Structure 1
Amino acid sequence: MADLRDVLQDHLADEKAGWSMGSFGAVAEFHQDKGEPLDADAPALFVRATRRGAIRLDAGMVGRIEPVAYETLSPKPHRWSHALALCLPAGDAAGSRRDVLTELGPDEDAVRPADRTAILFDMGLALPQCDFCIRADDPALLAILRENAGRSLFDPANPAGGAILKAHPHRVALTRIGRVEVFQKIGGPDTGGVSPPGPHTHLLPQLLKSGRTHSANVPIPDHLMPLGYLHPANPVMDGMGADRDFDIEDHVRFQALYDQFARPDLPILRKAVLAALDKKVEPHRFTVPADRFGRATVRLTLRQQHRLAEKFADSAYLDLVARWREAFDKVSDTTAADDDAPGH
């Protein structure tokens, strides 16, 4: 059984792993490239930083994190996503829920010492479990932010929103388990309308209006609230969501986390599907659970077995899996809400 502290430390040193913190509709992501120079490299202290972004987990809170491993369907039938949600009991997870732009003072807890004199502002998104902030040291931007403190950034007459988009200040997602900092530009007109590779943020007002703490496709128990996510290397797509050759080592590595940290009934169901396939049971003899996450687990298992059968050129097994997929994994059953992009 893996110790969560070891899992987190190992993945902080893994350049293929990604991280995110935030809430549904507002998220800050940390990614790194292979061989990218590091400004902070202390996985034992749960810290990692590059010139583009940073992450720090609160070492004192790591022991209280309740991890939930999960997989989600992709609209593309040869793919899936996976992650480890880093949760706390809902009563311990709440952020400040400020609903107006608020100056918080110098960011003395910034990961990099050079950033600790810059001024932190809560953007006032009123997120359930995250204080989503910007950090500024530009005098012109600071003047506009201070002049409009106490106002909503969603007010069309508030000039602070436009000033933020133009100035590209650092974004900082603060939660009870740590922080993610993003130094790169905000995705928009200055980045060709797309988020830059590597650390970046997403702010999607339509999703924020839902008031959800996480996607409905993620099986988080009702008593828990996710504050951040570890996104281990995905065996079928890279960190930007592009296809990659199936990597069986990355697949096996996450399956070990899934078996230990997933909702307990789901690995049991997966093993039942695998046992039925091993016995060459035809799909009409297998009963799929009515629960949405159970149905998704059957479909995910079949997608993975399809890729494994292709990898090992097992045509007879591939034919059997194809019959099961025809019965249980209709692509038309995958909702548009299923997310294909790690961390988004």
Structure 2
Amino acid sequence: MILVTGGAGFIGSNFVLDWLARSDEPVVNCDKLTYAGNLDNLSALADDARHRFVRADILDRGQVAALLRAHRPRAIVHFAAESHVDRSVVAPGDFVATNVTGTFSLLAEAHAYWSKLSGAEREAFRFLHISTDEVYGSLQPGAPPFTEESPYAPNSPYAATKAASDHLVRAWHQTYGLPAIITNCSNNYGPRQFPEKLIPLMIANALAGAALPVYGDGLQLRDWLYVGDHCAALRRVLEAGRPGETYAIGGNCEMTNIAVVLAICDVLAELAPKAGGYRAQVAHVADRPGHDRRYAIDSAKMRRKLGWSAAENFESGLRKTVQWYLGNQDWVANVQSGAYQAWIEQNYASREDQP
């Protein structure tokens, strides 16, 4: 079996669902269930004996050690992280605790567990750490995309804590021999993403008749990766990736934020039409501090070494995403709790509309 951390969150839950749709290998799913961890994401597995959910905090080394002793996983797939840049600006300490100290705790217990394995079990074990392209900082217009060799230059507290976690994982491989692999992905989107991130926030606000807040001029460039493609890449890395290696995973789809928002408006106008459409709801607001201008990933190593490339283009992936949110309005309503609403008010209310 495999142990997944953060498996009730956006990418983690999609990975667990995808894993069990394609394999009978059981999953132990460990999640602290912070605001973005949602058991509704896993409702399809409620009666599936292959899936065991355990509410646990990776900062609690005793809990982690007990899970490893009890279930003896052949791999740990580490998604658990605080991941929203805006939140990291307001509360960086939470990001240091989970992303840095939490990853350290998990590595320490994984090493202790792996050290006691022998033979084929020890040889087969993998620690797969899922990270982000934001650790590389901001690309200049026209510059080549990030690769596995790009220097680290994080600009937000979120990116800095993910960079730190990457360095810890590398150190545990180099110093202690832990068979660890790092992946750095571009911006994910798709079903079950918490509606603080750009695409689900725009869908939810558009349907509610609310403003669609776009930071600054909206010309920030991102490489968009459909979450199903990301899950396929991670399965492949777990299957054939080499310990000590890093793999960059991107969607080969650079788009500006404003282009993404307008594309969402147009898909909604087709699938959920209303008089006047949705574009009039777009509102430019003050940019956030340290907002990186451009990210892009070169996935050539994934294609060359592991035979993976993204199957979805942005148009097909966005249509699937909008259709999922339109068909799962109860899910959206359930996650938009009072705590979530307070966060949205805190983040956006202080930003004056920009021309």
The answer, yes or no, to whether TM exceeds 0.5 is: no
Higher relative contact order (CA 8 A, sep 6+): 1
Which of 1 and 2 has greater Rg? Answer: 1
TM-score, normalised to structure 2, is 0.30
In terms of fraction of residues, the more strand-rich structure is 1
Select the structure that is richer in helix. 2
